[in-house]
């Protein structure tokens, strides 16, 4: 019988929705429990919203269990009925989170960045009607809305830090990014979209250049084929006038011509295939950029743009010419001028990257309490050399023995820090960072599992990163000064050749816990060739 009652009998006159936890007033009218409580909490008098009858004192309300069951049944029927009229979500489409809770796969119309929920047309209705919900940020439906929250502060990622080129929450801009330049992701997105137009135009120009190159190759191959045919005709004409004894030589010459032509055609097909693959990838990126530029999802734009805006890997293309007379495809070195420009840009980027790390330079001084008795420290605690004799020093738990090394005095629990050390012409040394908890007595094995992230030099020529397993490094230039950059939160330790502005090695996924300290070992004497000290040098920000 309940299902035959008019639907309006099950709707709250306050919110106009099907009852949620219905309660009944002494005058016999029904309302959602939260709706009635809001009405009465907001006034001085408890009055029925339907008949205006007042009650004093305020009556205690209990949920009408039987009426709640009927209302819940009706709500489920209405959701199922509306869902059947809505678009069923196709594979890959975002589904309504509310419908999904009832096992219905209904296509979402919008996602709310405040509720972190995706809604179909039916469940989006309150956001279009209720004043407070109208203030929420709606966007085209997206998955994984939780990824739009700051993992550290559990707040929405709505700002963009230009110093570190990453999306952050409002609380981040008031704490660790306080002194950084931050803008809203909408503002950054607008600027990036302007840049994307230029990138799309650049990609289109490259595409046109590749298409032109393909046409050039095809044209050259046409001439090559005609030339080969002429060569064969000339061969036939020449050998026809000779005796039959020359028939074998004629076959040999003709075979050689055909083989050259076949090789030219195969090479041309290979080049055209490579060009076509580059064109396809450029067109794909252009399409993605255009789609990204027209989307409302500013956060997705900022996170996806770096991988799309740079040109894809390419070989060094240059003019490709087919010599019709010889049927040979020759490939010169690619676009020398462009290559030179790219090299210059790379140098600029290397310079910028080094300066970015050097912004985090810290003042490192050596800790005498950790130094092996053989180590000689300078008065300013900036140099660590190898002495001939053991010094008489207190035997404390912090001191390394018998391994000849020393730590920086200050440890780090978070953030980023950079220091650089002049190694000069030394033939043995170890540099890096270590956990405070590392073993300091007896022999040690330098590897990440033991709390060591270090690079070393042995015999003046063998550079090795002591990872797990260790990695032999092939350095084109011998570093005179080594920079060490650590990002505690990211879990990375990177080493650089300061003069060459070149990368040496990076330890990634480092499991830091507790304080980490700069680590130095001046090495053995090496028959007098390694007596120079390690020198902690200041960063010259003007260079």
- Domain containing residue 14: CATH number: 3.30.40.10
pLDDT of residue 245: 44
In the 3-class helix/strand/coil scheme, how is 182-242 assigned residue by residue? EEEHHHHHHHHHHHHHHHHHHHHHHHHHHHHHHHHHHHHHHHHHHHHHHHHHHHHHHHHCC
380 and 424 share one domain: yes
Axis crossing angle, helix 247-293 with helix 298-309, rounded to the nearest 10: 160
17 and 138 share one domain: no
**Residue 350 within any structural domain of the chain:** no
**Residue 60 within any structural domain of the chain:** yes
Average pLDDT over residues 62-76: 82
pLDDT of residue 425: 95
39 and 102 share one domain: no
Domain boundary among 54, 84, 114: 84
pLDDT tens for each residue of 335-392: 344 345 445 555 676 777 888 889 999 999 999 999 999 999 999 999 999 887 777 8
**Residue 298 within any structural domain of the chain:** no
Average pLDDT over residues 299-317: 66
pLDDT of residue 214: 80
Range of the domain at 68: 8-84
56 and 128 share one domain: no
The whole-chain average pLDDT of the chain stands at 81
Domain boundary among 84, 105, 124: 84
CA distance 452 to 433: 6
Residue 416 — pLDDT band, cuts 50, 70, 90?
very high
Least confident of 282-286, 325-329, 460-464: 325-329
pLDDT of residue 442: 87
**Residue 214 within any structural domain of the chain:** no
E strand or H helix that includes residue 505? strand 502-507
69 and 115 share one domain: no
| For residue 242, pLDDT beyond 60 | no
Query: Strand 416-422 and strand 481-487: pairing?
Result: antiparallel
Average pLDDT over residues 429-439: 96
**How many domains is the chain built from?**
3
Q: Burial letters for 390-419: b for 16+ Cβ neighbours within 10 Å, e otherwise?
A: eeeeeeeeebbbeebbbbbbebbeeebbbb
Compute φ and ψ for 505, nearest 5 degrees: -170, 150
136 and 45 share one domain: no
405 and 531 share one domain: yes
The percent of the chain in helix, strand and coil, each rounded to the nearest 5, is 40, 20, 40
* Domain CATH number, residue 386: 2.60.120.920
Residue 487 — pLDDT band, cuts 50, 70, 90?
very high
CA distance 452 to 435: 7
CB 427 within 8 A of CB 459: yes
75 and 105 share one domain: no
Instruction: Write down the H helix ranges in 294-433.
Output: 298-309, 336-358
DSSP 364-386: --B-GGGS-TTEEEPTTS-EEEE
**Residue 470 within any structural domain of the chain:** yes
What is the 8-class DSSP label of residue 498? T
**Residue 36 within any structural domain of the chain:** yes
137 and 110 share one domain: yes
pLDDT of residue 213: 79
Of residues 450 and 38, which shows the higher confidence score?
Answer: 450
373 and 455 share one domain: yes
| For residue 398, pLDDT beyond 90 | yes
431 and 467 share one domain: yes
**Residue 354 within any structural domain of the chain:** no
pLDDT tens for each residue of 104-133: 888 888 888 778 888 888 888 888 778 788
| For residue 240, pLDDT beyond 90 | no
pLDDT tens for each residue of 195-206: 888 888 888 888
Domain boundary among 61, 84, 107: 84
DSSP 75-101: HHHHHHHHHHHSPBPPTTSPBPHHHHT
E strand or H helix that includes residue 69? helix 65-85
Of residues 133 and 321, which shows the higher confidence score?
Answer: 133
CA distance 52 to 47: 5
**Residue 29 within any structural domain of the chain:** yes
Of residues 408 and 120, which shows the higher confidence score?
Answer: 408
30 and 118 share one domain: no
């Amino acid at each position: 019988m309940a299902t035959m009652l008019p639907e309006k009998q099950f709707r709250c006159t306050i919110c106009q929705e099907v009852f949620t936890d219905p309660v009944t007033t002494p005058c016999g009218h029904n309302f959602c429990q939260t709706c009635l409580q809001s009405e009465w909490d907001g006034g001085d008098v408890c009055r029925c919203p339907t008949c205006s009858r007042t009650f004093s004192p305020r009556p205690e309300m209990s949920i009408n269990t039987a009426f709640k069951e009927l209302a819940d049944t009706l709500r489920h029927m209405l959701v199922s009925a509306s869902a059947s009229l809505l678009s069923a979500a196709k594979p890959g489409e975002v589904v309504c989170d509310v419908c999904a809770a009832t096992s219905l796969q209904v296509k979402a119309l919008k996602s709310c960045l405040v509720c972190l929920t995706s809604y179909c047309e039916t469940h989006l209705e309150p956001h279009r009607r209720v004043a407070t919900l109208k203030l929420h940020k709606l966007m085209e439906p997206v998955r994984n809305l939780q990824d739009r929250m700051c993992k550290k502060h559990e707040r929405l990622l709505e700002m963009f830090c230009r110093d570190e080129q990453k999306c952050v929450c409002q609380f981040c801009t008031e704490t660790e990014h306080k002194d950084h330049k931050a803008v809203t992701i909408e503002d950054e997105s607008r600027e990036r979209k302007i840049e994307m137009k230029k990138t799309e135009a650049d990609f289109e120009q490259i595409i046109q250049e590749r298409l032109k190159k393909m046409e050039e190759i095809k044209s050259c191959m046409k001439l090559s084929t005609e030339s080969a045919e002429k060569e064969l005709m000339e061969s036939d004409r020449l050998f026809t006038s000779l005796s039959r004894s020359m028939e074998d030589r004629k076959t040999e010459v003709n075979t050689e011509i055909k083989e050259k032509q076949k090789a030219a055609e195969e090479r041309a097909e290979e080049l055209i295939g490579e060009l076509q693959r580059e064109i396809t990838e450029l067109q794909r990126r252009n399409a993605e950029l255009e789609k990204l530029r027209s989307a409302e999802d500013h956060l997705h734009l900022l996170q996806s743009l770096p991988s799309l805006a740079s040109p894809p890997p390419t070989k060094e293309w240059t003019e490709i010419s087919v010599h019709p007379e010889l049927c040979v495809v020759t490939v010169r070195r690619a676009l020398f001028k462009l290559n030179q420009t790219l090299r210059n840009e790379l140098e600029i980027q290397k310079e910028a990257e080094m300066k970015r790390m050097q912004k985090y330079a810290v003042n490192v001084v050596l800790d005498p309490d950790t130094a092996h008795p053989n180590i000689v420290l300078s008065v300013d605690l900036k140099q660590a050399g190898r002495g001939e004799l053991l010094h008489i020093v207190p035997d404390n738990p912090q001191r390394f023995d018998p391994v000849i090394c020393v730590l920086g005095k200050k440890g780090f629990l978070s953030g980023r820090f950079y220091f650089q050390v002049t190694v000069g012409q030394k033939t043995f040394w170890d540099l890096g960072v270590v956990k405070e908890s590392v073993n300091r007595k007896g022999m040690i094995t330098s590897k990440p599992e033991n709390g060591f992230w270090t690079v070393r030099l042995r015999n003046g020529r063998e550079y090795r990163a002591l990872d797990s397993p260790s990695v032999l490094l092939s350095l084109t230039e011998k570093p005179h000064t080594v920079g060490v950059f650590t990002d505690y939160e990211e879990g990375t330790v990177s080493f650089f050749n300061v003069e060459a502005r070149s990368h040496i090695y990076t330890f990634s996924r480092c499991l830091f816990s507790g304080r980490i300290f700069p680590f130095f070992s001046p090495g053995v004497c090496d028959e007098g060739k390694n007596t120079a000290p390690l020198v902690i040098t200041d960063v010259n920000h003007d260079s």
